[in-house]
Amino acid sequence: MTPRPVGGSHGVFLVGWLVGSLLIGFILAPLVGLAATQSPEVLAAVAAMPDVREAIGLSLVASFLAAALASAAGVPLAYVLARGGFRGQSALAAFIDLPLAVPHTVAGIALLLVFGRRGMLGGPAEHLFGLRFWGSFAGVVVGMLFVSAPYTVNAARLGFEAVDPRLEQVARTLGFGPWRALATVTLPLAWRSVMIGMTLTFARAISEFAAVAILAYYPMTAPVKIYELFLEQGLSQSAAVALLLLVVSLALFLIFRLIAQGRVGAGSDR
């Protein structure tokens, strides 16, 4: 249960609410403004445009894939970071956060140098496997993955850290091997954090513009499409697509959050 303010701390809470309301208003105002300027008719018309639907669909699929890849590689890494106890652990944790600190145009250029046609990974991948990143769906996923993967790693690491390692030890002494103990005790207890991390990764991936636009302008994701519409047809068309993307991504974000919160969290033992 959340403790209620007592003994004169009401004033602190009041100031907290007042100042916090400014921030809430600041976040809410552009979103409400965006929604208020659009009529349902324009929204329906834009939603019916094949290239818009294609861009939103591509954004959704690529973001799902980025979140899935981030969790496939990031959750094991998060476990190692939470439990490893090795030298350089905190340096590695800080390194994982690097994409959050790099301007995304810089990230896009760096990705282009590595995954581009003559990049050290892009060239061999195209030559050996026919896998092209520059201007392709794979490039979109790579751009999204680079900027969003830290969210999964960080949230999962916090989740694993919150699970008492002694529970795993107890599971081992009860007869479960290390993998089974991980799968039946630690992962279910850290699941909520992993889901929150994946949700944040998905949200960050679907909103990415710069890194994706530099590495793979085509096929167009929704943010790139909005940018192009803004340049070519002005604010009204681009705002309508922006609202559509906002509604779709917010709805998915809420669904994921609800799924994550529906699970039993770690550290609930009294």
Partner 1 sequence: MTVPILEMERVAVRLGAFALRNVSLALAPSEILVLIGPNGAGKSVLLETIAGFHAPAAGCIRIAGRDATRLPPEQRRVGFMVQNYGLFPHLSVAANVGFAIRARRGAEGVDVGKLLERFGVAALAKRLPHDLSPGEKQRVALARALASRPTLFLFDEPFAVLDARTRATLRDELRQFLRDAKLAAIFVSHDQSDVHILADRVAVLHDGALQQVGSVDDVFSRPANRHVADSVGVENILSGAATRRLLPETPDATLCLRAEDVDVLPGDVRRESADGAIWLEAVVRDVVRLGPVARVTLDCGFPLVAALLRPEANGLSERTPATVRIPRASLHVLSGAGAPRD
Residues in touch with partner 1 (CB under 8 A): 164, 166-167, 169-178, 180, 184-185, 188-189, 264, 266-270
Take residue 174 and report the two structure tokens written for it.
């009860």
Could you tell me the smallest distance in angstroms from the CB atom of residue 265 to partner 1?
9
Cβ at position 161, least distance to partner 1 in Å: 15
Helix (H, G, I), strand (E, B) or coil at 60: helix
Q: How far is CA 76 from CA 50, 73, 149, in A?
A: 39, 6, 13
Q: Please check whether residue 78 is in contact with residue 157, taking contact to mean a CB–CB distance below 8 angstroms.
A: yes
Q: Which is nearer to partner 1, 4 or 87 (CB)?
A: 87
Q: Which residue, 195 or 244, is less far from partner 1 as judged by CB?
A: 195
Compare residues 39 and 268 and give the one whose CB is closer to partner 1. Answer: 268
Euclidean distance between CA atoms 30 and 41, whole angstroms: 21
Q: Which is nearer to partner 1, 77 or 189 (CB)?
A: 189
Q: How far is the CB of 155 from partner 1 (least distance, A)?
A: 18
Token readout for 31 is 């979103």
Nearer to partner 1, 72 or 170 (CB): 170
Least distance from C-beta 94 to partner 1, angstroms? 22
Cβ proximity to partner 1: between 58 and 171 the closer is 171
Quickly list DSSP for 216-244: --SSPPHHHHHHHHHHHH-HHHHHHHHHH
